[in-house]
Amino acid sequence: MAQELLWIFISALLINNFTLTYFLGICPFLGVSNKVDTALRLGLANIFVMIITAVAAWALNTYVLIYAPYLRLISFIIVIASTVQFVEMAIKKWSPELFRALGIFLPLITTNCAILGLALFATNKGYGLLEGIVYALGAGGGVTLALILMAGIREETRVLDIPDAVKGTALSLIVAGILSMAFMGFAGMFSAA
Amino acid sequence: MGKDQHTDWDVLIKGLWRENPVFVAVLGMCPTLAVTNTAINSLAMASATFFVLVFSSLFVSLLRKVIAKQVRITTYIVIIATFVSLVDMLLAALVPDIHKELGAFIALIVVNCLILGRQESFAAKNKVGAALMDAIGMGLGFTIALLMIGIVRELLGNGSLFDIPIFGTSFEPWIIMILPPGGFFTLGFLLLLFNAVALRRAKANAITS
């Protein structure tokens, strides 16, 4: 069991990295990640929302959606968005420090494709509660890792002399492609086990 | 009347090129890059998005006076999610093979920022006719962009186009183009191309004027 959970975690973190192999959460990846510090906080907020999402998706799947599977998409979106909002209010009240650290990213992340993607993939794979949470941790960690790597590279490229046509999104995408290629190397890591 | 028609056409045309959702606005990346590895998948994804965009715009525009300001985003999302669920079931019934290949990414059309963006910035403020034109224009622009990416990736990564071999057997396919990095590279280089053309045009204009 523990081995299986570890496998789920590593697979979501490195091999099937949400950002670099599923293209989920590309918008903040290309738009926001200019500073390593911001990237780290955005990543932490992402992990946080993902864990809530995994629990919410599991609860919906087990108790509600067996009666009405065609409502899956609509209920996922509404329940996840409102749960996050609710938890955000709770954190604001009980732990202002944590709230400040996560900052404005919490509400933004809710509409991020990585969140809905996590809920859908966890459903398709038939994960239970514990597996879902581990999957969320791995996926969130993977997104954080990608954000930090990208932010670090972008910090470096700011001082370089780059042709005008390549500046901006084009450069970010090409860098992302190279990162994605590097992450493909992880695919062979566990095939022997 | 003639003037109205002109503006309607303008609304339609702008999505194709001048405000192309992918190449100019860089919207709706997330659920789309993953499935543009072949031309057929790109076409399927683009048609599904087109359908959702047109019907969501139609309904949002029809209901624009009924929807309360405070809950508008939620309402848009519910409308979009309804049509995405419809498309998901339609594709599963009509083309099960493609549906299987696209998998969860069909459901992820819900969070395509392009669709929500058009509702908020256009459909909610305009009459039904204009909203439809805008949706069709943007949808077509999105389709063109996705097809361009899909064609490049399939041609280089598989040596074929719509599953028909083009380059013959002596061609060594660039497998990387079908894999995830290929998506980033293709879009990156297409954007580069677009930027270069725009820059050159701006420079030429500056010289002549």
B1 band by pLDDT with thresholds 50, 70 and 90: very low
- Residue type for position B14: K
Q: How many angstroms away from the CA of B164 is the closest CA of chain A?
A: 27
- Tokens representing B56? 């969501």
Instruction: Decide if pLDDT at A88 tops 90.
Output: no
Closest alpha carbon to B71 in B27, B124, B107, B129: B124
Q: How many angstroms away from the CA of B95 is the closest CA of chain A?
A: 19
Distance spanning both ends of chain B, measured CA to CA:
35
A108 band by pLDDT with thresholds 50, 70 and 90: low
Q: How many angstroms away from the CA of A110 is the closest CA of chain B?
A: 10
Cα–Cα distance for residue pair B184/A177, rounded to 1 Å? 5
Residue-wise pLDDT tens digits, B17-29: 777 777 777 777 7
Q: How many domains does chain A have?
A: 1
Residue-wise pLDDT tens digits, B90-128: 999 998 988 888 888 888 888 887 888 888 888 888 888
Cα–Cα distance for residue pair B59/A160, rounded to 1 Å? 48
Question: Nearest by CB to B108, which of A21, A27, A116?
Answer: A116
Separate counts of helices (H) and strands (E) for chain A: 10, 0
Residue with structure tokens 């929500």?
B116
Residue B5, pLDDT score: 52
Q: Which of chain A's residues have a Cβ under 8 Å away from the Cβ of B153?
A: none
Question: Nearest by CB to B111, which of A71, A116, A180?
Answer: A116
SS3 A32: coil
Could you give the ipTM of this predicted complex? 0.81
- Asked whether residue A6 is assigned to any structural domain, the reply reads no
A50-71: burial string, b at 16+ Cβ within 10 Å, e else: bbbbbebbbebbeeebeeeeeb
Question: Nearest by CB to B184, which of A71, A81, A176?
Answer: A176
In this structure, what are the phi and psi dihedrals at residue A14, rounded to the nearest 5 degrees? Answer: -115, -50
Cα–Cα distance for residue pair B66/B72, rounded to 1 Å? 10
B159: left (phi over 0), alpha (psi -120 to 50) or beta: left
Closest alpha carbon to B114 in B67, B63, B68, B50: B50
Q: Which of chain B's residues have a Cβ under 8 Å away from the Cβ of A153?
A: none
Q: Name the packing angle between helices A2-10 and A129-157 (round to 10°).
A: 30
Residue A103, pLDDT score: 66
Q: Do B179 and A27 count as a contact with CB atoms less than 8 A apart?
A: no
- Residue type for position A36: V
A42: containing domain: 36-182
Instruction: Decide if pLDDT at A193 tops 90.
Output: no
List the beta bridge partners of residue B161: B164
Closest alpha carbon to A111 in A18, A25, A20: A25
Tell me how far CA of residue A136 lies from CA of A14, A56, A71, A82, B133, in angstroms: 13, 12, 23, 18, 40
- Tokens representing B118? 């058009």
Cα–Cα distance for residue pair A165/A126, rounded to 1 Å? 45
Residue-wise pLDDT tens digits, A125-165: 888 898 999 999 999 999 999 989 988 888 888 888 888 77
Residue B2, pLDDT score: 40
The CA angle B149-A120-B104, to the nearest 5 degrees, is 30
Mean pLDDT to the nearest integer, A13-21: 85
Residue B69's contacts (CB-CB under 8 Å, 6 or more residues apart) are none
- Asked whether residue A5 is assigned to any structural domain, the reply reads no
Q: How many CB atoms lie within 10 A of CB A85?
A: 13
> Helix, strand, coil shares of chain A as percentages rounded to 5?
80, 0, 20
Cα–Cα distance for residue pair A148/A22, rounded to 1 Å? 17
Residue with structure tokens 């028609």?
B5
Mean pLDDT to the nearest integer, A7-35: 80
Residue-wise pLDDT tens digits, B32-44: 788 888 888 899 9
Mean pLDDT to the nearest integer, B172-185: 86
Residue A33, pLDDT score: 60
Residue A166, pLDDT score: 81
Residue-wise pLDDT tens digits, B59-86: 999 998 888 887 788 888 889 999 999 9
Instruction: Decide if pLDDT at B11 tops 80.
Output: no
Instruction: Decide if pLDDT at B190 tops 60.
Output: yes
Tell me how far CA of residue A158 lies from CA of A52, A162, A168, in angstroms: 36, 9, 10
Residue A135, pLDDT score: 92
Residue with structure tokens 């420079």?
B203
- Asked whether residue A1 is assigned to any structural domain, the reply reads no
Residue A5, pLDDT score: 87
SS3 B209: coil
Residue B209, pLDDT score: 65
Residue with structure tokens 């072949």?
B38
Instruction: Decide if pLDDT at B52 tops 90.
Output: yes
Cα–Cα distance for residue pair B176/B156, rounded to 1 Å? 9
Residue with structure tokens 């909610």?
B124
- pTM of this structure: 0.83
- Asked whether residue A56 is assigned to any structural domain, the reply reads yes
Mean pLDDT of all residues belonging to chain A? 82
Q: Which of chain B's residues have a Cβ under 8 Å away from the Cβ of A124?
A: 103-104
Q: How many angstroms away from the CA of B85 is the closest CA of chain A?
A: 7
Closest alpha carbon to A39 in A156, A158, A150, A178: A150
